[in-house]
Structure 1
């Protein structure tokens, strides 16, 4: 959708989906008698200048990130094995269960799960880093004493899937906000793009909270979307009998929707529908100009989603975009049972997809202009429930791309000891985050072009973690200071 402020938000969202999918719905609200007389003016497309993009991969369900990034120095590995029990990965096993990283932080060493060899290589070659013990916070919580004191505000629905997925996407964990981080960024920066009806928020997973703004919404498509099947594709046979072509038909509907309606809902839907059709036509032209990449992508859904994103980046000039934020939901991580087996199946998909996408960005010449990162509801309990794990809190996430400082573990990886651990809030091993979601997103927002003065609009709690008056000091530290200039 384009940047149009409409106060009836829920009507927009629900009506918009129906408008794009059903001519019958439109005809029940608007008069279609004027369709045959339409025409729309062409839009001159300008090449965007300074291009930047983010790719958010939601690993919904809560992935067991303490078996993704594992401490392997003697002291911390002993804590890990004691807490994880039968779920612990053996650093000395053959065949390998862990792959050592080329990293040593004052004696602290780490390995990644053996099912992620490409991630290990991306890390060692400075393309990827980890953010340790990150999670949803309203304000810093130093230890269990503060957690139990009742003096600190806790995220609503802590350990709840629906709430924590929401809070990661909105970064307002004190409420159940309808507006997400990428949506607020789009509200501020959408005018940087040269075609106003084309949102730079693009979803490969449908409607989501992350990209919902006060004035903008995501544009949704799928990995199988092409120029031939995008938008209005199912019409009665009499359309073709009269020789109507897609462009003429959509121009007609667009012209009809420019009319003024007395009813607020008719007017809202008309505006929404017109913007949607204009946006669809721009994407149709862009997709028609997609040419194959030389990088080979796997057949998994995640790889194919990232391939589609690479294709859209390649044809970005047809969309007039200098900023784009992409969203993918790759779910299925709620492993209350068969944790080890499920991770052995799913982690290779993530590892291969990230490596393929990184290669594609290099091929396209935008390696230094795109940041890809993972988010997830929460980590899992360190202790087993028998054959799996349950919901926890602070987790380890990945961030990849040319703009970041690769080959690092940012943040404070916690001790995984169950006893006498100031961050462990239960006997199951649930860690208080030491880095907030706000800090991660603040750094991305500053790099993207958001002014330090506007960070509190994007992230209402940011001042609890970071002084916006000192923008030269990176909020989370994973980007060089020069990236914000």
Structure 2
């Protein structure tokens, strides 16, 4: 078996041992794997997905501030309601129902981005198999997402947008299958994860490339001269260049290790010397986004045009102590988004990057005492210079309960008025996906395109 020749120099200036790279997968993605013709137009763009893992209570993130609707919000939320005077005001226009909006006080950076028209919200979005009314929810006449209200299932559905099946391949993965049908040992995948293995970036033939906030990782031996280091370097060189053709296990193991090391050296060299301008705070999320900014800037060196990134910010399952815990986490998110967008603008690459958030589900509008329980529809963020910012897209729902809310199926669990298919269709079109390929990419999308604008949200001009 042929493999790259590894030298002593190749092991220096590296850090740790990576499980990375791309592997062939034997199972294809039903309905997606090989559509005819080019589905994606290559262009210099990047999508950055931040998963708010656990279920963000997004109706305390984006809150109506006009007196009528805030009064309804306060009555429903009870002890979890945020006073009007504490909310950060957002510039208009008001929505179709005459509601003005404000943000949780912990999000001044997001407020500034929204008012600068660099950020928008999509209201009451979630996984849907088909449109439904709450009477259909009660009588079982409409198909619901599998495992509704389940962390594991909804977390997966947000990554695949195929809630009628339990699928382990995502739409970012399909991008890679189309744009990178085969990779050499030295090529970096377009799908880069700062959260390890994930479903969203799994393809039929591709897996994400995992990095850390410090960058890629590979085999490391200290550069200081010593007898021990000399022995280690010689051992590594011999091991990596040995021919184990008669031992399938060793050859497979070393093949993966060689591939990971080769990719690490390419990634390390491509990002070396690239700085992300501006100050990034010390949170894991901020430091990860700092690395994302550097990697996008290094796209040409990496031989990439399109890139996707997957990040996880864990800990949003606030059944208790919602007000304190969510306030802190929203401040971390807001600060990280502000720092990231500022850095992209300083590097003059902000016109080719869109960042968006998702979360397992929204939460109940009603309090369980000191927190909220699992819900369904919620509000999410889309950020970037290409976005038509300063707007709330979709239909922000009534925050009443029972008969006062057509979306409430109990305790303020809201049926989404916008599907993840619609959100992802807008993002995919911006990324370069052909309109004719959307129904292949998202098989349920046609069920949400019966409106005057064809189901499009209009996130991009």
- Shorter-chain TM-score: what band? 0.7 to 0.9
Is 1:54 the counterpart of 2:47? The answer is yes
Distance 1:131 1:463 in 2: 20
Q: Please name the residue that 2:200 is paired with.
A: 210
Aligned residue for 1:138, secondary structure, equals: coil
Aligned residue for 2:425, secondary structure, equals: helix
Is 1:200 the counterpart of 2:187? The answer is no
CA contact (8 A) 2:158 2:420 kept: yes
Cα drift, residue 272 of structure 1: 4.2
Aligned residue for 1:59, secondary structure, equals: strand
CA RMSD of aligned residues (A): 2.9
Cα drift, residue 3 of structure 1: 5.9
CA contact (8 A) 1:3 1:197 kept: no
CA contact (8 A) 1:139 1:465 kept: yes
Distance 1:359 1:125, change over 3 A: same
After superposition, the C-alpha distances for 1:163-217 in whole angstroms (9 at most, x for unaligned) are 1111101111112211112111211123699998311111111111111111111
Q: Please name the residue that 2:299 is paired with.
A: 316
Is 1:5 the counterpart of 2:5? The answer is no
**TM-score w.r.t. structure 1 length?**
0.80
The equivalent position to 2:268 in structure 1, one of 257, 275, 284, is: 284
Q: How many residues align?
A: 423
Q: Please name the residue that 1:240 is paired with.
A: 229
**TM-score w.r.t. structure 2 length?**
0.84
After superposition, the C-alpha distances for 1:416-470 in whole angstroms (9 at most, x for unaligned) are 10031111001x1010001111111111112212222332342222222238xx9
Distance 1:157 1:302 in 2: 29
Q: Please name the residue that 2:88 is paired with.
A: 99
Distance 1:454 1:239, change over 3 A: farther
The equivalent position to 1:296 in structure 2, one of 271, 279, 293, is: 279
Distance 1:313 1:342 in 2: 32
Distance 1:161 1:205 in 2: 17
Aligned residue for 2:301, secondary structure, equals: helix
Distance 1:242 1:459, change over 3 A: same
Distance 1:121 1:271, change over 3 A: same
Describe how 1:159-198 pairs up with structure 2 within 5 A: 159-190=149-180, 197-198=187-188
Distance 1:243 1:272 in 2: 20
Cα drift, residue 370 of structure 1: 0.2
Bigger shift: 454-463 or 145-154?
A: 454-463
Cα drift, residue 75 of structure 1: 2.8
List runs of 5+ in structure 2 lacking aligned partners. Answer: 1-19, 29-41
Q: Please name the residue that 2:82 is paired with.
A: 89
Is 1:153 the counterpart of 2:134? The answer is no
Describe how 1:408-423 pairs up with structure 2 within 5 A: 408-420=391-403, 421-423=405-407
Cα drift, residue 5 of structure 1: 3.4
Distance 2:237 2:314 in 1: 38
List runs of 5+ in structure 1 lacking aligned partners. Answer: 10-48, 481-485
CA contact (8 A) 1:179 1:212 kept: yes
Instruction: Answer 1 or 2: which has greater helix percent.
Output: 1
Is 1:128 the counterpart of 2:119? The answer is yes
Distance 2:178 2:322 in 1: 41
CA contact (8 A) 1:98 1:113 kept: yes
Distance 1:316 1:8 in 2: 29
Distance 1:7 1:260, change over 3 A: farther
Cα drift, residue 269 of structure 1: 5.3
Q: Please name the residue that 1:477 is paired with.
A: 458
After superposition, the C-alpha distances for 1:120-141 in whole angstroms (9 at most, x for unaligned) are 1110110000000000111111
Distance 2:386 2:207 in 1: 26
Bigger shift: 458-467 or 124-133?
A: 458-467
Cα drift, residue 372 of structure 1: 0.3
Cα drift, residue 72 of structure 1: 1.8
Q: Please name the residue that 1:24 is paired with.
A: none
Cα drift, residue 397 of structure 1: 0.2
